[in-house]
Amino acid sequence: MSGRGTVLTYTVNFHPYNPAVPTPYVIAIVELAEQQGLRLATNIVDCEPDSVACGMPVEVQFEQQGTGADAVFVPVFAPSDGPASSASAPAVS
């Protein structure tokens, strides 16, 4: 997999759900470049929340959560300087 995708929709959360996650943070649906309709609920990182937009190209990163035997790696996405994926955001009317 390329690790690239396109933001289809998103929301900025200002209310703390988990004290370990600082607010505001972006929750998004990203459509992966490999297949139209292949979508992942994820967080957008490494940018200001107000810079996120539908149609924005992104690429995957993996954040470690937990330590030792309890550690897991979670896919998150960051803005990409590369071209948008083959996926395209649906038109909004």
pLDDT, tens digit, 9 for 90 and up, residues 23-63: 999 999 999 999 999 999 999 999 999 999 999 999 999 99
pLDDT, tens digit, 9 for 90 and up, residues 68-82: 999 999 999 999 986
Would you list the domain boundaries of the chain? Answer: 4-79
Is cis: bond before 75, omega within 30 of 0?
no
Predicted TM-score (pTM) above 0.85: no
> What φ, ψ does residue 51 adopt, rounded to 5°?
-95, -10
Looking at beta carbons, which pairs linking 20-24 to residues 24 or more positions away fall under 8 Å?
A: 24/49
